Copies of this chain bind each other. A is one copy, B any other.
Amino acid sequence: MNPAALEAAMPLDPDRAAREARKMQRSRQLLDAAARVMEREGSHAVSMQAVADEADVSVGLIYRYFGGKDELLLAVILNVLEDFASTVPAAVEAAGDDPVERLAAAFGAYCRVIERHRHATVLTYRESKSLDEAGRRRIKEYEVETTQPLVGVLRDGIDAGAFRPVEPEMVAYNLLLVAHAWALKHWYFERTLSFEDCVRNQLSLALHGLIEPRQRRRYTRFLEASERRSRPSTVAPGS
């Protein structure tokens, strides 16, 4: 019997419950501190001391809540993935039945999670090396899982004739990558685009490659965003 099962067996103890709650709160605090510290000094690797300082606690305390640095790191990363898992499907459901609307909602939600956890996202790429094989597997599997809403939306859209018959898994992962790009290449994109503009442009670009040509006219509002504002000069287009 694991602790969780035991707790479920006796849900009445208020003392136990209160302590659990405070423990959760502390965990969150530490997690947030860890996320924040890598936001500030993005260049150095994250040291336990730095996390402790950020959270205004002592180093030793972290070890009461997390088994070690690996576990803390893993927790930060999983925290992001949980945000995907709870946010994206909800956004899709709220978007109605139209496949394009649903895809737009899913992608938008995905991007917004990234924006919320921008630095934790790059952490996934930077520090996943220091995790053991089990941790890495867990992250990979969870990441694949978070793309399932996108895959579903794409598949439905294809079956409904709104999208071209592409490989949904591949396209979904491409969308994931483009979303990650906002975190990974932030120094590049922020030079010319705001977050919202970036999302709109990327979505428009993707939809141009996805939507079945005959359906185009119904979705012009999604498709216009990525066009350049200035016309391409006076050169005659007929080559």
Does B208 contact A208, Cβ atoms closer than 8 Å? yes
CA distance A213 to B208 in the complex (A): 10
CB distance from A39 to the nearest CB of B (A): 13
Name the contact of A226 in the complex, choosing from B45, B166, B233 (C-beta under 8 A).
B166
Partner of A185, one of B126, B136, B173, B226: B173
The yes or no answer to A44 lying at the interface (CB within 8 A) is yes
Number of identical protomers: 2
A158 part of interface (Cβ distance < 8 Å):
yes
The one of B45, B173, B187, B239 that contacts A129, using a Cβ cutoff of 8 Å: B45
Check A164 for interface membership: any CB of B closer than 8 A.
yes
Within 8 A of B (CB), among A157-180: 158-162, 164-167, 169-171, 173-174, 177-178
A42 within 8 A of B: yes
Describe A's contact surface by its main secondary structure.
Answer: helix
The 27 sampled A-B contact pairs (Cβ below 8 Å) are: A43-B136, A45-B129, A45-B130, A122-B125, A125-B125, A126-B126, A140-B188, A144-B188, A159-B233, A162-B239, A165-B228, A166-B227, A167-B192, A170-B192, A170-B193, A170-B205, A173-B181, A173-B185, A173-B189, A174-B181, A177-B181, A177-B185, A205-B209, A208-B208, A208-B210, A209-B210, A213-B213
Rank and list the top 3 A-B pairs by shortest CB-CB distance, nearest first. A209-B209, A161-B237, A208-B209
**Which chain A residues numbered 1 to 54 have a C-beta less than 8 Å away from chain B?**
42-45
Closest Cβ of chain B to A166, distance in Å, is: 5
CB contacts under 8 Å to B, within A99-153, are: 122, 125-126, 129-131, 133, 136, 140, 144
A79 part of interface (Cβ distance < 8 Å): no
Most interface-central of A122, A126, A164, A174 (chain B CB within 10 A):
A174
Chain B residues lying within 8 Å of A126, measured Cβ to Cβ, are 125-126, 129
Q: Scoring A residues 182 to 222 as 1 if CB is less than 8 Å from chain B, else 0, what string do you get?
A: 00110111001100000001100111111001000000000
Chain B residues near A164: list those with CB within 8 A: 208, 227
How far does the Cβ of A201 sit from chain B's closest Cβ, in whole Å? 6
